[in-house]
Structure 1
Amino acid sequence: MNATTSRGTLLAALACVLVGGSFTANSLLGEYPYAGGQFLRYGLACLLLLPLAGKGATARLRALAPRQWVRLCLLAAVGMVGFNLAVIAAERTAEPAVPGVFVGCAPVVVAVLVPLLDGRRPQRAVLHGALLVAVGAFAVQGWGRTDGAGLAFSVCALAGEVGFAVLAVPALRPLGPRLLSATVCAVAALESAAVGLLVVGGGWLRRPDAVETAALLWQAVVVTVVGFVCWYMGLQRIGAERATLFSGLIPVAAACTAPLVGTGSYGLAQATGSALVGLGVALGSGALRRAGRARRAPGRAFRGNGRPLGHENRVPGMPD
């Protein structure tokens, strides 16, 4: 694993662990207006990210084509505001584990969708790793009561999670992770305000109490500023297929932090699911294959032409 891949892996993992911790923070915001909370979270995050956007940020934004702005608006609407709305709507008639299980399937969808959009076949190792991650996420969260509406909104939440990764890829090159994060946060804040004004009305925003303020600050500073930048930096280095594998760490982190605020427990099922998620990530990212190659390296036999035995069976296009 080279330095770029290692750094991308660590960044994607850290981002997903931070997002998993945000679910615990969400449990402290049950009485706060959704749209107002999202507006404060993304608005504050945008203000914090703008100084980090780098020189020439304004010129890079002006250089974007209209279709690129449409993509950014869709990214914020689908992957941020829409995702959170879908989770909240699903939990009205379904237990929280239900949308969590659907969101846990995002690595499988991305492992199939991204290669198809690129005109290539899905990589078998990535797909098998994604399936293990999905099974592990299910084991961590379990299943719960639901109805048709809960299932439908859970599917929408899955679409939002997939969109958050897939829609961002073309915008990373012209904007970079920091400016992209700042831009989509600004768009998401405006979209949240629009949702609040049109749907909720005058009560869409109020002054948070001390606990709500702490939860909103955690979401804005840690989850959004640090988490988004780490996520997009990881996505830039290892690609959407492998980066999305780490979304399996979201329910694991949520399960680990829930006991800290008394909203859940960590038992045998969570431990088993966490192990499956770890195995799936290692398999899909290629870590297991590289580790096996490293163990075999000292004793590898060579042919007379200097090539190791079995080298001819390497899959073309796959890195050593």
Structure 2
Amino acid sequence: MSTTTRGSLLAAFATLLVGASFTANSVLVDYPYAGGQFLRYGFACLLFLPLVGRGGTAPLRRLTRRQWGRLALLAAVGMVGFNLAVIAAERTAEPAVPGVFVGCAPVIVAVLVPLTEGRRPQRLVLYGASLVAAGAFTVQGWGRTDGAGIAWSVGALAGEVGFAVLAVPVLRPLGPRLLSATVCGLAAVESALVGVAADGGAWLRVPAPAEAAALLWQAAVVTVVGFVCWYMAMQRIGAERATLFSGLIPVAAACTAPLVGTGSYGVAQALGSALVGAGVALGSRAPARSAVRPGTAATDERRPRIVQPVRDR
């Protein structure tokens, strides 16, 4: 199996995990936001430690202050801030609204990553990203909103873009597993700070059995498995092409919604799914220019709403 094929399968699997896990979000509606994020990312960080192994944290000592700042920003914007923005948007907007904005992330990443690397955007990736965005919109539709809902949805889009773009320079020295473990640890600390500042002593409580199961699923499966697969995909095919697969999130949500009685799958969902598939196929034909090449430090790591799922990061 080629590197490109493996990377594509990893990206698809990671985004499908997110899309199919929206039921966990509905269980956590009444749980304190910051406390839930703290438990999720804190437990995920602990689960990552055996995967990193003894001596696996050595690259962290070689990071510069600027790289540490980037990691902290990645956790704050792409994880804690992203989830907070989606939740805040859905207070005054229907879930489809932040989902539509987040669906535009492949287009922005397709432009932003090449510019930061001093090269031109690839046409095939741009065309594919546009089809993915159109497909995501078709699957989700539009919904009721106001100015605040749109503003928070833009914040969610910024978080989605930041999750990919901010990781590019630190993926090479850390590799997928150590990068995932580090940002989860930072996100746990940041969530605790947000919780104490916003809610005082009420920011954390013992979760009910159903809430504990949902948090465990998000930590062990969506975060540990999903993050590693996502960053391994970025390592192989680059951030631009990997982000194309984020269009599978609403598709997976649309496919699984009927199973739990929270939605239906109709003509619009089928058409949108086809557009997303066409966009991914078209964009994937472009050469992976920003992927980590074999032999670099990162590859020595043993090779390893309907839109509710946009909260799963």
TM-score, with normalisation over the residues of structure 1? 0.87
Equivalent residue, structure 2, for 1:77: 76
The AA in structure 2 aligned to 1:138 is F
| Paired positions, count | 286
Question: In the alignment, does 2:8 pair up with 1:48?
Answer: no
Partner deviation per Cα, 1:24-51 (whole Å, 9 max, x = no partner):
3212211111111111110111000111
**Structure 1 residue 55: deviation in Å?**
4.2
Equivalent residue, structure 1, for 2:197: 198
Q: SS in structure 2 opposite 1:201?
A: helix
Distance in 1, Cα, partners of 2:127 & 2:155:
24
1:219-258 aligned at under 5 Å gives the runs 219-258=218-257
- Unmatched segments (≥5 aa) in structure 2: 287-313
Q: State the superposition RMSD in angstroms.
A: 1.1
The AA in structure 2 aligned to 1:100 is G
- Unmatched segments (≥5 aa) in structure 1: 288-320
Distance in 2, Cα, partners of 1:50 & 1:65:
22
Q: SS in structure 2 opposite 1:38?
A: helix
**Structure 1 residue 271: deviation in Å?**
1.1
Cα pair 2:105 2:160 within 8 Å, conserved: yes
1:171-182 aligned at under 5 Å gives the runs 171-182=170-181
More displaced stretch, 80-89 vs 202-211: 202-211
Q: SS in structure 2 opposite 1:25?
A: helix
The AA in structure 1 aligned to 2:117 is D
Distance in 1, Cα, partners of 2:142 & 2:251:
15
Q: SS in structure 2 opposite 1:122?
A: coil
Cα pair 1:178 1:229 within 8 Å, conserved: yes
Distance in 2, Cα, partners of 1:126 & 1:87:
26
Partner deviation per Cα, 1:41-81 (whole Å, 9 max, x = no partner):
10111000111013432321111111111000000000000
Equivalent residue, structure 2, for 1:170: 169
Distance in 2, Cα, partners of 1:140 & 1:24:
18
The AA in structure 1 aligned to 2:46 is L
1:1-320 aligned at under 5 Å gives the runs 3-286=2-285
Q: SS in structure 2 opposite 1:95?
A: coil
Cα pair 1:24 1:254 within 8 Å, conserved: no
Distance in 1, Cα, partners of 2:60 & 2:117:
26
Equivalent residue, structure 2, for 1:295: none
Partner deviation per Cα, 1:267-311 (whole Å, 9 max, x = no partner):
111111111100100001018xxxxxxxxxxxxxxxxxxxxxxxx
Runs of 4 or more, structure 1, over 3 Å off, are none
